[in-house]
Structure 1
Amino acid sequence: MAKAPETVSVNDQRFLAGQAAFEEITGLRSSEFLDGLKDLAPAIGRFVMEWEFADVYGQSSLDLRTRELIMVAGCVALGATAAPILKLRIGSALRAGVSRQEIIDTIIQIGIAAGVPAALAAIQSAGEVFAVLDA
């Protein structure tokens, strides 16, 4: 009996589309992100690729700059617990054409709702991202 050709499932298509979007948006290799989760929670890496990057990013009416500013704002509101993801999103926002000043102004604006400590922690994170880029 002949072996059926391998097909790519819908979920695999979503995963691959998410990986491509992740790499385009963040400038990072998706395999590095996924490898960081493989021993603890590999499923969340797949969820991030499929849901966040393939579904949400792939079907939004918002332009990439706006989406990245929203992600920066959301991470700022979460405070210091979101610092590693905030740094990733600041880099993604810069790649999407958001200026450094727009990032700082977004952080300050969110500080009104999230509080000064959250804003100060986010400004420190932004400074760290900017310093790496300037090095």
Structure 2
Amino acid sequence: MTHQTQTPQLEMTRLERGARALADIDGSAGEAVVAALADIAPDFATLLLEFPFGDIYTRPGLGLREREVATIAALCAMGTAQPQLKVHIEAGLNVGLSREEITEILMQMAVYAGFPAALNGLFAAREVFDARDAEPA
């Protein structure tokens, strides 16, 4: 008797797990980042898929919502990663965070990262929210 099953997460390669996770989390924004690296650093695109998305995001222990809360907070606190912050604000929305929750996360950063970082994060969120509002239904 032949028994076929879907490939379990562990049997998938890091690259396959990462590509699937990136698509689920970041959608077209993540795909655009990978595509933008194709002509300058394709190996870096592979590393991006394998490590953060294939190894870290797919670990048990935290759900995607919690991982995006941490990522949004960290990128906001860094203050130097606006494009990545916007991608992860979008990802937060994709995995079920509300606009209000994202706004609160960014406001919380005023306490730990300072008002400039929180302001920049809030302005980035406004851009993402406005872009979503402008999309056809």
Superposition TM-score, scaled by structure 1 size: 0.85
Cα RMSD between the aligned structures? Answer: 1.7
Report if the CA contact (8 A) 1:15-1:49 is conserved.
Answer: yes
Residues 85-104 of structure 1 show CA distances to partners (whole Å, capped at 9, x for unaligned) of 00000011011111111111
Cα distance change on mapping 1:30 and 1:111 into 2, 3 Å: closer
| 1:114 positional shift | 0.7
Task: State how far apart, in whole Å, the 2-side matches of 1:78 and 1:65 are.
Answer: 20
2: CA distance, partners of 1:29 / 1:123 = 19
Cα deviation for residue 44 of structure 1 reads 1.8
5+ residue gaps in structure 2? 1-9
| Sequence identity (%) | 37
Specify the alignment match of 1:132 in structure 2. 131
Whether the 8 Å contact between 2:89 and 2:128 is mirrored in structure 1 is yes
Q: What is the TM-score normalised by the length of structure 2?
A: 0.84
Following superposition, the deviation at residue 60 of structure 1 comes to: 3.4
Unaligned 5+ runs, structure 1: 1-9
Partner of 2:51: 51
Label 1:99 to 1:18 Cα distance change in 2 as closer, same or farther (>3 A): same
Deviations 1:4-48 (A, max 9, x none): xxxxxx9x8211210111001112275532220122222221111
CA distance in 2, matches of 1:106, 1:13: 33
The Cα offsets for residues 60-117 of structure 1, whole Å up to 9 and x where unpaired, read as 31011110111100100111x2110000000110111111111111011112111100
Evaluate the alpha carbon distance shift between residue 77 and residue 30 of structure 1 in structure 2; reply closer, same or farther with a 3 A threshold. Answer: closer
Match of 1:122 in 2: 121
C-alpha displacement of 1:121: 0.6
Does the aligned pair in 2 maintain the 1:19–1:30 contact within 8 Å? no
Shift of 1:50: 0.3
Provide the rounded CA distance (Å) in 2 between the counterparts of 1:41 and 1:113.
Answer: 34
Distance in structure 2 (CA, Å) of the matches to 1:26 and 1:90: 9
What is the aligned residue count? Answer: 124
Paired position in structure 2 for 1:17: 17
